[in-house]
């Protein structure tokens, strides 16, 4: 088994681009040797601002944390904020395994030290036709994947959420199979925009937003950005994903934001920016086409929706 070299899976322009902002974040490394508080609401220190941020105004904290799709805690948008209050995120164990040279098991402190923390203000487009702008705190998923050294059989990355029916009694009404599963192709996962998130608005991630660790994949519909991750596995075949298992006709593996491909039950041409009434045209790849369109060269995005 030969190790997959990082340069083989990432276009050089993005590779260099990532280096540039990782260097920017290096100043924050000093702060990371201090003990990190990891309860919801605690301020995160040593966070640098990322050049990958949009200049659009961020959605207010109350809207981001009061309007959530997190079916383990209920299917109403207001349920997670109520029902996730006592969710235990500490201790937490994240395992990274599969086709890697150096599998890893990390606790919360280990997770916070994977890479310097950055604030990245990303657009977030839900498949339900609403969108928000979120100042996430975290780092590129690639920083973690590089540390475990994926080999040549690592073609996809599978993610699994935490699921405990005792702590998440509403989960049995979710109507989808739990634990929640998600997946990315390795080149998507290695893309610098794909982000592991530990906080928002300068604070440790609130429970209802997927504490303590979630993804933010801004060019895909929100449900791809899996919450409360406990397992990451590098695999050879396209892994099963929760919404695709529930309804393959409506939710594809890729689920890139695409105004040209309708959801079977509604058009995806427009979105409503929350909070409020105003709608705006939805942008292909949620406006991140310049950075990510190259990942899908030659692919029929109507077929691979």
Partner 1 sequence: MNKILASGWTKAVVFLMCLVPALLLGSGWYKEALGPNPVENITHTTGDWTIRFLLITLSVTPLRKLLHLPMLIRFRRMLGLFAFFYGCLHLTTYLWLDQFFDWAGIWKDIYKRPYITAGFTAWILLVPLALTSTSWAIRKLGGKRWQLLHRLIYFSALAGVIHYYWLVKSDIRLPLMYGAILLVLMLYRAIIWFRPKARAGGSF
Q: By C-beta, is 31 or 63 nearer to partner 1?
A: 63
Instruction: Compute the least distance from the CB of residue 193 to partner 1, in Å.
Output: 25
Residue numbers at the binding site for partner 1 (CB under 8 A): 59, 62-63, 66-67, 71, 75, 77-78, 128, 130, 132, 173-176, 246-247, 265-267, 272, 274-277, 279
Give the C-alpha separation, 290 to 280, whole Å.
20
Instruction: Compute the least distance from the CB of residue 268 to partner 1, in Å.
Output: 12
Instruction: Compute the least distance from the CB of residue 204 to partner 1, in Å.
Output: 22
Tally of CB atoms within 10 A around 295: 19
Q: By C-beta, is 106 or 174 nearer to partner 1?
A: 174
Instruction: Compute the least distance from the CB of residue 46 to partner 1, in Å.
Output: 30
Give the C-alpha separation, 141 to 138, whole Å.
9
Tally of CB atoms within 10 A around 203: 18
Q: By C-beta, is 59 or 258 nearer to partner 1?
A: 59
Q: By C-beta, is 113 or 272 nearer to partner 1?
A: 272
At a CB cut-off of 8 Å and minimum separation 6, what does 29 contact?
Answer: 46, 116
Instruction: Compute the least distance from the CB of residue 44 to partner 1, in Å.
Output: 24
Q: By C-beta, is 80 or 116 nearer to partner 1?
A: 80
Give the C-alpha separation, 155 to 184, whole Å.
9
Instruction: Compute the least distance from the CB of residue 210 to partner 1, in Å.
Output: 17
**Peptide bond before 131: cis, by omega within 30 degrees of 0?**
no
Q: By C-beta, is 231 or 272 nearer to partner 1?
A: 272
Q: Are 195 and 22 a contacting pair, CB within 8 Å? A: no
């Amino acid at each position: 088994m030969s190790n997959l070299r990082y340069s083989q899976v990432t276009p050089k322009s993005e590779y260099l681009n990532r280096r540039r902002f990782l260097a920017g974040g290096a100043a924050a490394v000093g702060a990371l040797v201090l003990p990190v508080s990891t309860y919801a609401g605690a301020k995160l220190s040593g966070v640098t601002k990322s050049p990958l941020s949009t200049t659009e105004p961020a959605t207010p904290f109350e809207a981001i944390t009061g309007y959530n799709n997190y079916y383990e805690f209920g299917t109403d948008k207001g349920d997670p904020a109520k029902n996730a209050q006592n969710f235990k995120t500490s201790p937490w164990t994240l395992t990274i395994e599969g086709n890697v040279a150096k599998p890893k098991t990390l606790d919360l402190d280990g997770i916070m030290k994977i890479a310097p923390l950055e604030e990245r203000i990303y657009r977030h487009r839900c498949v339900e036709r609403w969108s928000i702008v979120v100042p996430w705190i975290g780092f590129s998923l690639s920083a973690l994947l590089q540390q475990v050294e994926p080999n040549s059989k690592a073609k996809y990355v599978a993610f699994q959420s935490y699921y405990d029916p005792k702590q998440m009694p509403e989960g049995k009404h979710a109507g989808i199979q739990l634990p929640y599963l998600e997946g990315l192709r390795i080149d998507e996962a290695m893309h610098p925009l794909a982000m592991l998130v530990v906080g928002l608005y300068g604070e440790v991630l609130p429970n209802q937003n997927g504490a303590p660790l979630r993804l933010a994949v801004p060019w895909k519909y929100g449900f791809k950005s899996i919450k409360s991750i406990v397992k990451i596995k590098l695999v050879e075949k396209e892994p099963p994903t929760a919404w695709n298992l529930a309804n393959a006709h409506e939710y594809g593996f890729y689920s890139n934001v695409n105004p040209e491909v309708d959801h079977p039950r509604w058009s995806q041409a427009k979105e409503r920016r929350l909070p409020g009434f105003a709608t705006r045209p939805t942008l292909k790849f949620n406006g991140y086409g310049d950075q990510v369109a190259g990942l899908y060269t030659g692919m029929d995005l109507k077929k691979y929706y």
